[in-house]
Each structure stands twice: as structure tokens, then as C-alpha cells.
Amino acid sequence: METKVEKIDENSLRTAAHLIRIGELVAFPTETVYGLGANAFDEAAVKKIYETKGRPSNNPLIAHVHAQYDISSLIDRDPPYAAALRRAFLPGPLTMVYPSTKKVAPSVSAGLNTLAIRVPSHAGTQAFLRAVNLPIVAPSANLSKHVSPTSAEHVFADFAGKISLILDGGASEGGIESTVLDVTGEVPLILREGLITREMIASVAGKCEKYFLKDGEQAKSPGMMYKHYAPRCETLLFDSLPEALAAYHAKEEAGKRVWLLTGGKWLEQLPPIRLLSLGAYPKDMAANLYKQLRAGEIMADCIVALVPAERGGIMAGVLDRLTRACRS
Ligand code: TXA
Ligand code: MG
């Protein structure tokens, strides 16, 4: 199968909408990461996502809709605080998990009674979702366990020959996946951290909890169970600069092509070194993380990652992704 990469315009949107309607997959940009999309009502198409990605069948998918789409037939209960959160943060990088009416194809929710819904803010995504006018389920457009994609080139690297169309909307500005928030209870519960932070949600909803998996319990969000986002080379993770530098030099002496990945204030203290820079500020670190992990796996035998010292706000999401990528 030939894989076309096309800029978003009237022609490519028409092709994309046609492919979705006949049950094919289309990759598309969002403000967080690229997604691999299918019609949420088409069970065979949804199954194709799991097969094409190599995704475990118990890990549910997010349904993406355009800003005017009426989600009331898809969700069973909608607490007042959820409406306030939608007004405050959507369209944007916040996914909300509702009790499901089960109108979408069964594989979407992978056996759960809930449905995750997201309204992306990227203008190209909105245009695509309006052209289709259906909920589009989409995981990140990477092979399962590989680093998430923030450009059409990243998607092409994983899926060339496996899907027919990648819509190219440029580099994803946000760079890490949406915040996933369970709104089925009295208090909103963060299942996955992202660019909409716990503080931001609490400022609108009054409260916001973070979900932690307890021993022996079934995960509320199965995606949390998996090693994720991993580059295809050795990765080592350190909190201290001297330890990271010692590991870097040891690898170098062993004849390995080693690169150091870090960001924030550490950048001011580094000796000359092969550096995968995440940039100075939290927003840059989110935007550059996956790009630099993907660049690193091509150039390096080993990535030595030095955990940025910055904390708070979106750093929770950045550090979550970095530690998962480098967890052995
Ligand atoms: O930013 C994003 O959310 C991107 C773009 C493409 O929109 N999508 C994305 O999808 O990251 P994916 O499939 O890679 O991650 C979805 C996460 C998984 O951790 C999954 O377990 C969780 O959302 N999830 C999906 N449906 C759920 C549900 N009904 N209940 C709990 N967690 C759910
Ligand atoms: Mg993913």
C-alpha cells in the first residue's frame, strides 16, 4: 500500500472523509500528538486500529469530535462540573471520560462502561472532524510501545505501507498527549497528566484528584499499565548531573555513541557534550520531548536522560512521559 502524506486542504480532506466512511484508517495532526483515526461507529475499522498499532485489546480509545458535535447521545451522565470544564478548556488538550451509552462500536471502550471524548483545538483537526462529521477514535499514531509522534514524518516512519493517508498539519505544538480526566464521579480524577494541569482543573471544578493504581486493583485507565513511549535504543535515567555525566563518559569510553537528553536550568551547567536539548522552559520541554527521543534513537546507541529540575504545572506530565520512556 502506498502511504501518501498530504497537507490539509479541501482535496485531502475530501479523500480523508471518504477513507473514513469506507472503513479505512487516516492519520491526522492534533495540538498534542498525531492520531491514527477510524470511524467510532464502525467495529471493523476500530479493530483495524488495534491490529495496525499492535495495541493490546484491553486498552480503550479516545473519541475525537469537532467543537459543534453534540455528544449527548454518546454519554449517559454529565455532572455540572464537567460542563464547566468543557467551557473552560475545550477545544483543547483535555480528554474527559464519561459513562457511555454504548452507541459507539464495542471495541472503542475495550470492555469498560465509559467513553473517553476529546475536542482537539488544532485548526486542521477541527477541519478534518467537520469534514467527516463523525466521532473519530484515535490513539497516538505510533506503533504500540514506541515514542508518540509529533510530526507527519514520525507517523510515516512507523506506518509507511500500512495506511494510505497521513494528513500533515506541521509539528504538534503541545508535544505530549492530552490530560485524561475521569468525570464519572463526584470529583474529577486525573488518569493521565498533560498540558491541562491538576491546578487548572481544580480552579474550575473546585477539586481535582490524581488517580494512583493500588496493588492488585484493575487499572481505571489500562494505558497506565504499559511501558510506553520507549525509544529503540538503550536509555538511562538520572536525577543528578554528576551521575548523568559519569554515565555519559563511561558509555563513551566503552565506544558507544551516547547522547545526553535534558532541559531547563541544567542546560546552563553542561560541559561540551552531544546534547539532545529539550529547551529552557516547561512548554519547550513538552513540545520537544518526543522529537528528541526519536532523534536520539536514530543517532545514539544510548541516551542518558537527566531529569529536568523544574517542577509544578505541566512538568508533571513531562516527567511522567520521560520516566516511562526510560523505564527498563
Ligand atoms: O492527546 C491525545 O490524547 C492523543 C491524540 C491523538 O488525541 N491520543 C492518545 O491516545 O494519546 P492513546 O490511545 O495513545 O491514549 C489514550 C489513553 C490511554 O491511556 C487509555 O487507556 C485512556 O486514554 N483511555 C481511553 N479511553 C478510556 C476510558 N474509557 N477510561 C479510561 N481511560 C481511557
Ligand atoms: Mg499512545
What distance in angstroms lies between residue 172's CA and the mean position of ligand 1's atoms?
A: 17
Q: Is the CB of 317 under 6 A from ligand 1?
A: no
Kindly give the parts of the chain with pLDDT less than 70. 222-228, 328
Ligand number, closest to the Cα atom of 97? 1
One domain, residues 203 and 252: no
> Residue 309's domain spans which residues?
234-325
Q: Given this model, what pLDDT does residue 225 score?
A: 60
CA-closest residue to ligand 1 atom 21: 223
- Per residue in 50-89, pLDDT (tens digit) is 999 999 999 999 999 999 999 999 999 999 999 999 999 9
What distance in angstroms lies between residue 301's CA and the mean position of ligand 1's atoms?
A: 30
Domain-located, residue 147: yes
Question: Which CATH number belongs to the domain containing residue 265 in this structure?
Answer: 3.40.50.11030
One domain, residues 204 and 239: no
Q: Given this model, what pLDDT does residue 223 score?
A: 66
Distances (CA, A) of 72 to 11, 78, 115: 31, 9, 12
CA-based nearest residue to 313, from 171, 202, 225: 202
Q: Given this model, what pLDDT does residue 108 score?
A: 98
Q: Is the CB of 176 under 6 A from ligand 1?
A: no
Domain-located, residue 227: no
pTM of the model: 0.97
Q: Given this model, what pLDDT does residue 6 score?
A: 98
Domain-located, residue 249: yes
Q: Given this model, what pLDDT does residue 18 score?
A: 98
CA-closest residue to ligand 1 atom 10: 139
CA-closest residue to ligand 1 atom 31: 221
Three state DSSP letters for 90-138: CCCCEEEEEEECCCCCHHHHCCCCEEEEECCCCHHHHHHHHHHCCCEEC
- Per residue in 174-202, pLDDT (tens digit) is 999 999 999 999 999 999 999 999 999 99
Q: Given this model, what pLDDT does residue 87 score?
A: 98
What distance in angstroms lies between residue 148's CA and the mean position of ligand 1's atoms?
A: 12
Question: Which CATH number belongs to the domain containing residue 8 in this structure?
Answer: 3.90.870.10
One domain, residues 203 and 242: no
Domain-located, residue 251: yes
| Non-local CB neighbours of 162 within 8 Å, separated by 6+ positions | 1, 3, 52
What are the residues whose beta carbon lies below 5 Å from ligand 2 (ion)? 140
Distance, in Å, from the CA atom of 115 to the CA atom of 37, rounded to the nearest integer, reads: 16
DSSP 318: H
Atom of ligand 1 nearest to the CA of 142: 14
Number of domains in the chain: 2
Atom of ligand 1 nearest to the CA of 64: 7
Distance, in Å, from the CA atom of 84 to the CA atom of 225, rounded to the nearest integer, reads: 30
